[in-house]
Amino acid sequence: MHKLLLLNLILILSFISCNNETPDEIIPFAFVSQDINLNLIQYQDLRRPGGYIYIAPGDNSGYKGLIVYHDGDGTYRAFERACSFDPRADCDPVIVDDSGIFLAHECCHSTFDFNGNPTGGPASLSLMQYYTYVDGIYLKISNN
């Protein structure tokens, strides 16, 4: 009788502690080295504070591509578009929500602010952010 009770208790505890969500994962390393000429028309959205662009994944543009955001006062942020909760998920990358107020990843159901910090959903890690600086008319983005 005690063995059956113990077995039931173990089963109940295992069901309670099971979690279908996967833990936050480290985003795989990808080399980033981008020089963006801020005077080119395809980057005109970066000329105004709050403007942003997407850079597709490819040579030197991160694991799943980049979101580049003009923070104001000549400050820019560049984020990896892989969700910090499940970066290897085979789905669309992080986007700027239609409201323009936050970043979202529909697949991992997480949201982030424009500092890359998680604001909702299962993600507890910030988005990976790359180093940015302005050199004349060029915005340079890199791993360091």
pLDDT at position 55 is 96
Does residue 19 surpass a pLDDT of 50? no
Extents of the domains making up the chain: 29-142
Entry pTM: 0.81
CATH 3.40.50.2300 given to domain 29-142:
no
**DSSP codes, the chain:** -HHHHHHHHHHHHHHHH--SSPPP-PPPP--BEEEEETTSGGGGGGGSTT-EEEE-SSTTB-SS-EEEEEEETTEEEEEESS-SS-TT-SS---EE-TTSSSEEETTTTEEE-TTS-EEESS--SPPPEEEEEEETTEEEEE--
Report pLDDT digits (tens) over 23-81. 576 888 899 999 999 999 999 999 999 999 999 998 899 999 999 999 998 899 999 99
